[in-house]
Structure 1
Amino acid sequence: MQTETKKTYDKLSRKIALTVITVSLAPLILVGGLIFDQFRSIYRAKVYAHLAEVVDKHKDNVNNFLNEKLAEVQYLSRVFTYEELSDSRNLEQALKGMQQQYGRIFVDLGIINENGTQVAYAGPFNLLGADYSKADWYLNSRTKSTNISDVFMGLRQSPHFIITVNSSRAGKPWTLRATIDFLAFTNLVENIHIGETGYAYILNKSGVYQTRPQSNLNRELVLTPYENIQDPVYEDGVSIQLSGGSDGEKYVTVSSLLKSGDWKLVYQQNMSDAFSFMIRSEFITLAIFLTGGLAIIVMALYLSRKLVTHIEFIDSENEMMNRQMVETGKLASIGELAAGIAHEINNPVAIMIEEAGWVCDLLEDEGREMSSYAEISRALEQVRTQGGRCKDITHKLLSFARKTDSRVVDVFLPDLIEEVVGISMQQARYAQINLSLDLDREMGPVRASISELQQVFMNLFNNAVQAMEAKGGTLSVACRAEDGQAYVSVADTGPGIPAANLSRIFDPFFTTKPVGKGSGLGLSICFGLIHRMGGEIDVESGVGQGARFNIRLPLPSAGTEYEVEKED
């Protein structure tokens, strides 16, 4: 039976815990998931917008750089004639002036005639008379008034690119060429560096690098685009793609066209690096959610267990109370039975006393001469005495049984205490328990229920008797008026109460008696009844020092007329 009950409570605990966990975690997961998704979308859009802005800004910087250098070369071709520029001294002077004004961005200058031969040169290399008639950059520039070549190695065997401006002299074409410092140009692109893996480079239409690639760039890396963030372009010619690399990583690639579409500025970054802050925030958020969820689960289990334990305790109290009610019902039945028996016994006892008196009268008149007169007189007197005692006992029992009315009346405490003591001390005489009464007959009555006070005193007297019945002792009861209150003390010389139990002595169902000897409700009921009357009850005790219960009840104010309950 206990196993089944435990299983029921365990099942209830699991149901409560599951309900609390579900109700608590479901909204948390839904709201958290929605916020998490919105945060990811907003942060991704923010990162893409930032990268697009950076690439677009650097695209403008590179285009402005190229256009400025082209404009400076064009200005030189307009200011000077072919004849003036064909003089190497004038060309040297022009290069020096440009380098002084713009820095060493311009490496050299040259004049090429209609046959593709460089007829004048100013610069650090020995390129006078160089033949460019078959050079790709020269052939590509012949059909255009101005041109910016791709980066190539050329005769000097170092990467560079050339700006050309085509003019004519007497119907014959000629070309002014200027070489741009490759390092200065490359630095414009290398400034785009974000995070640990973000870098930028420029490609031509054939996919050839036009800037110096990063030292950590894996040239064998193959990117396979799988998603366009905005198709076909993001804004201002900037496009963003997500790609899968041949190394198994995912990459963000942002690109924009340069130089009228001949070049492409490309920015590339590992996705885990580009979204490192978001990933870290997601990890922290997930850790917080998991910690919060774990705390909710632990608290749900703890509270459900505590709640079920409390329910189990209440059920246990209810069960004990039900048993106590059954016992109380039995006691009430026994009380009614005892009252009926006492009433039936009272009549024969009265007859016995009357008959004993009549026999005594006859014996006085006619039996004085009998040899056993004295013995018979003594026996009859004993019959009358013990009969009177029986009549007194049954009278008190009937009087106690009749007083079950809980109405508040004026009660004279000394008389009520004597009446209850008279009933309780019947069993005490056989346990060698002496009675000491100190009752103030001059004190006024208290306003209380007679039946409730009977119950309080009966409980206290019975507890004292039971505490001393093993070795005997003295039950001391005192009653007096003190500081406007009725003071009653019930003391015994029993084993006393341990200090650890004093704070719990009035708790329901707390008892130090063996199982089956007490329910633990007596003192709790006394405590409740006294406080309901507006009084107080406390205990003084120690191991081996006996116990003293002190009761204080309010006395009516002076001048009040009392209607004292009298015995029948």
Structure 2
Amino acid sequence: MAEEQTKETRLGSVKDMLRSPLRTIEAVRQDRYKSLKVRIFFTVGTLAGVPLLIVTAVCFFWLHAVLVDDFSSHLRWQMEHARAGLEYFLSDRISSLRYLASAHPYASLVNPQSLREIFQKRKQEFPELIDLEVVNADGLQISYAGPYSEKGKNHAQQDWFVRAKVHGVAVSQVFPGDRDLLHYVVAVRQYVPERDSFWILKASIDVETLNRFVAEIGLTERDDAFLIAGTDMLQTHSRFHGAVFQRVAMPSLSQQRGFTLMKYKDEVSGNVILGATRVSGSPWTLVAFMKPTTLERIFTMLKREILAVYLIIVFVAIGVWMNYRTTHSIVNRIRDTEKAREEAITHSEHSAKLASIGRLATGVAHEINNPLAIINEKAGLIKDLFEMYPESSGCQREFLPLVNAISESVNRCRTITHRLLGFARRMDISIEPINVNDVVREVVGFLERELAVRNIRLELNLDENIPQIESDRGLLQQVFLNIANNAIDAVSDGGEIVVSSMPENGSGLKVVIRDNGAGIPKEVLKHIFEPFFTTKQKGKGTGLGLSLSYGIIKRLGGTIEVDSFVDKGTAFTITLPLAAELDRSVQ
């Protein structure tokens, strides 16, 4: 028992020593050469390109700052121009109302017919005028001219009335009023000394006049401009911040007359240049968000220069590429030379280790064959005695089947040791006419017990019209048995294995062994025919079955292919010629 454990330990140590040395060496070598190429490339690139990049970056940021200042100055000029135009417009409207209040007697203005005639004339000159009203000192409407029928309205609580009463003139915020029409009010106070009282002339103006002045700011589709009242209430429509009366997230702005210019990160527009200026004589602030298109300006200004820079970059890139290609060629030659040398050494070591395993396998096989021969001889002797003296024992009927079972087990062990010896040395191929379907059925017979225990369903789809071929029966049994065993290991209990045979275009036949097991990942699939490569648990596989099967099929002039999908299954396709064309180069 101890001797058997020692042999198993020695065999396991040899297999572990041989497992995957080529893959480890190849991975280290590839990483080393890849690292060498990268270091050379980036060293040359750093020495040649970093100074150029630094100069380019400095120039770019300097030019970017200059253009941002230019954008800011341009925005300031445009906004001041728009503000001046709006202030002039309001001043003109206030002067016009004052002229009407002083040029026409109070009695004429409170007369609806007379006021309507004045309104019609003004409407022709100024289409945005909505209506005219005369309001007394108590805020009551005395006379009205316009498209609406309003009588007796009281404006005493309106902000514009209070400011006109106190300051003599007022411009209101935009509001819809009772008519649901966006407008604002310009009102002037007319004092009556003889009565120590006053009255107010009020004009309602369409908000479109404000939109027209805001639109005079030359903006792109990425920019935005609008009027706000107070600190954040929209008075005109905004491209990105909503409609009138919505709130806009704004930084705190000075309420004094002047111009505010700053860089600001807007929630909607992102990084912008914000310009803001108060409109004198009104409750409004003109605001603009401009996204500086510095990159487009740089490209427009430096088209020719940028083209020259591009050409320089192209030439530099060509030089770097040529240097890289030269380095790549040199490193590849070094790599190929070292690879050939290491492969020769590895192949020599691998052959020596395989020879050691072969000698070990030969010794084990011979050690087993000797006691097997004795057991077989004694079993045959017992059988002969029973046949010669049938009357000598009343237990002949019970013992004779047991003796036959011993003989069959001995023959099976002899077959196993014969296969073991076949691994240790090249076995002679015995070519004979074969019906492949019969070989498949024989292999299935070996596996019936395990299939039944694990409740695995085996389906045979054998074409009885396939041609008879000339090949080695024992080697084909070994191949089919190896692949079938792998299929059994791959499927879970209750799984399914399908074995099919079919003609192959009159030149031979195919045998397909398909299972519905776990499948083989792509990164593993390319290694399955390598010696000692296995995905089974330690102690459950040697990694030699598929490697030997691949070599056998190649020697017999056939091919073996595999298709596998994870969680779906694996299919091995074995193609065999009608007559074995032995490939002596395959060992």
TM-score, normalized by length of structure 2? Answer: 0.43
Larger radius of gyration: 1
TM-score, normalized by length of structure 1? Answer: 0.44
